[in-house]
């Protein structure tokens, strides 16, 4: 399930593979992926364009082919692969960007949850799906002070708030659990009740966990692969996610799995009071 580190890794691998390529044609076999735009119009706008740049905003990839920017969300299992056009097309391939050099960027998505939007470059932040997004964890203004100010009034459970992409972007179920374990905070704590020290730890570990996960190339717990088809290896560093009934690496108590905000939540009830 691609969260910020996985999307950042896909961005970096795709940058090395498709920048400068020219789109010759686009094939869409699952129109539902393309939102608010007919497939013909989607294709018409992209044919002849060059891939100029790739950015990331939260869990969204922004593939810039001026004057348009393709905003792609991988949701659960979306994957991009660059292949030669002779390669057989794998099952669940829904969108193909054919380039002029006989290579193709193929979008494959078993669950079909992924989405693509096409908006004018430079106006991305004014349109859905980016318009409602919250702060970037690596933005300069995301400080411990910012977090203190913004948690003060919030009555939601901390995990719910951290998963809420209109509050802060990039964290999903895996990294929220890992961050809260490192910060030694219970996921069901009401956000406004955190102490300054706890918020300092929370801020520190949001960046630390995400940074280390990016360095590891992301987490492959299900089927995640980067743009080159390679796995990440942060899964070997996970402290709580997916470790139900296994001993906490810090204190030995068995990791528990509860449900918070409708999501499976892993924690050590000894370390996270």
Partner DNA sequence: ACACACCCCTGGAAGC
Partner DNA sequence: TGCTTCCAGGGGTGTG
Residues at the site binding DNA, with contacts judged by CB under 7 A: 1, 3, 32, 58-59, 73, 75-76, 91-92, 110-113, 128-129, 132, 153-157, 160-161, 163, 165, 172-174, 191, 261-264
Of 184 and 263, which has the nearer Cβ to DNA? 263
Of 172 and 232, which has the nearer Cβ to DNA? 172
CA distance 39 to 30: 9
Percent of residues in the chain assigned helix, strand, coil, to nearest 5: 30, 25, 45
Give one word for 10, left, alpha or beta, with left for phi > 0 and alpha for psi -120 to 50. alpha
Do residues 94 and 109 lie in contact, with contact meaning Cβ atoms separated by under 8 Å? yes
Least Å distance, CB 161 to DNA, is 6
Least Å distance, CB 47 to DNA, is 27
Of 113 and 204, which has the nearer Cβ to DNA? 113
Q: Please classify residue 121 by burial: count the beta carbons closer than 10 Å to its beta carbon, then call 0-12 exposed, 13-18 middle and 19+ buried.
A: middle
Least Å distance, CB 192 to DNA, is 7
Q: Catalytic residue numbers?
A: 2-3, 59, 263
Of all helices (H) and strands (E), which one includes residue 263? strand 263-267
Least Å distance, CB 22 to DNA, is 30
DSSP structural state of residue 77:
T
Of 84 and 153, which has the nearer Cβ to DNA? 153
């Amino acid at each position: 399930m691609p969260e910020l580190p996985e999307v950042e890794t896909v961005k970096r691998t795709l940058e090395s593979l498709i920048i400068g390529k020219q789109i010759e044609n686009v094939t869409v076999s699952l129109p539902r992926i393309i939102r608010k735009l007919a497939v013909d119009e989607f294709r018409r706008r992209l044919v002849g364009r060059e891939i100029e740049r790739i950015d990331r905003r939260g869990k969204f990839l922004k593939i810039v082919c001026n004057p348009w920017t393709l905003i792609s969300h991988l949701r659960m299992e979306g994957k991009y692969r660059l292949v030669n056009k002779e390669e057989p097309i794998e099952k669940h391939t829904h969108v193909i960007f054919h380039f002029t050099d006989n290579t193709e960027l193929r979008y494959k998505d078993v669950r079909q949850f992924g989405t693509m939007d096409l908006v004018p470059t430079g106006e991305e932040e004014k349109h859905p799906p980016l318009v409602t997004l919250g702060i970037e964890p690596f933005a300069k203004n995301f400080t411990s002070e910012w977090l203190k100010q913004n948690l003060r009034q919030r009555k939601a459970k901390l995990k719910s708030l951290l998963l809420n992409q209109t509050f802060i972007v990039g964290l999903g179920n895996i990294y929220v659990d890992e961050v809260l374990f490192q910060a030694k905070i219970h996921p069901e704590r009401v956000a406004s009740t955190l102490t300054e020290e706890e918020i300092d730890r929370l801020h520190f570990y949001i960046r630390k966990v995400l940074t280390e996960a990016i360095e590891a190339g992301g987490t492959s717990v299900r089927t995640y692969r980067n743009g080159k088809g390679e796995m990440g290896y942060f899964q070997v560093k996970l402290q709580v996610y997916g470790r139900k009934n296994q001993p906490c690496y810090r204190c030995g108590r068995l990791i528990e799995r509860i449900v918070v905000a409708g999501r499976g939540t892993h924690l050590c009830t000894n370390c996270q009071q």
